[in-house]
Amino acid sequence: MLPWILGAHNIMRWLVLLAGTFALMRAYRGWLAAGGWQPQDDLAGRLFAISFDIQFLVGLFTAAVSPMIRTALQNPATISASQSIRYFAVEHIPLMVVALAAVHITSSLVKKAEVPAERHKRAAIGYSLGFLLILMAIPWWRPLLPSL
């Protein structure tokens, strides 16, 4: 079962990255061109947040059934002994939690801004932070589909 869940989690990363790219493009276009706030701007932010929420939930389920995470929780000494365990237990999960918080806080701040230029600016800065954290936390060395 783990290979299937991990495969879904690996594939979902690309949907999150596409949604994030769309949200960033809309935010920077509006900010730099001083454009008005459009329904597509709301849609872009919503797609980014929702796709990341789904990815995060799949990731939590992956962590719950992962023997690597189970080993780290049962024997914390193994965290420093294995680079892979350390990465997933200490770096990947906390970075993704912070990235998720950044995306949701940004969504909230964007809604509270009344001036379109300020909405775009907040979206550009906040989504950039979340997107950068996501890029830092992705294990790029892993295959797209683990051996199924």
121 pLDDT more than 90:
yes
Q: Which residues contact 22 (CB under 8 A, 6 or more apart)?
A: 44, 47, 48
Task: With a cut of 90, say whether residue 102 has pLDDT above it.
Answer: yes
CA atoms within 13 A on the CB side of 18: 7
Q: Band of the pLDDT at 140, cuts 50, 70, 90?
A: confident
Read off the amino acid at residue 98.
Answer: V
Q: With 90 as the cut, is the pLDDT of residue 73 above it?
A: no
pLDDT at 1 over 80: no
pLDDT of residue 81: 80
What is the mean pLDDT of the segment spanning 70-87? 82
37: left (phi over 0), alpha (psi -120 to 50) or beta: beta
Residues 6 or more apart in contact with residue 107 via CB below 8 angstroms: 45, 46, 49
Residues 140 and 17 sit within 8 Å (Cβ to Cβ): no
The residue written with tokens 């200490």 in the block is 90
Q: Which residue has the higher pLDDT, 17 or 79?
A: 17
* One-letter identity of residue 6: L
| Amino acid 147: pLDDT | 58
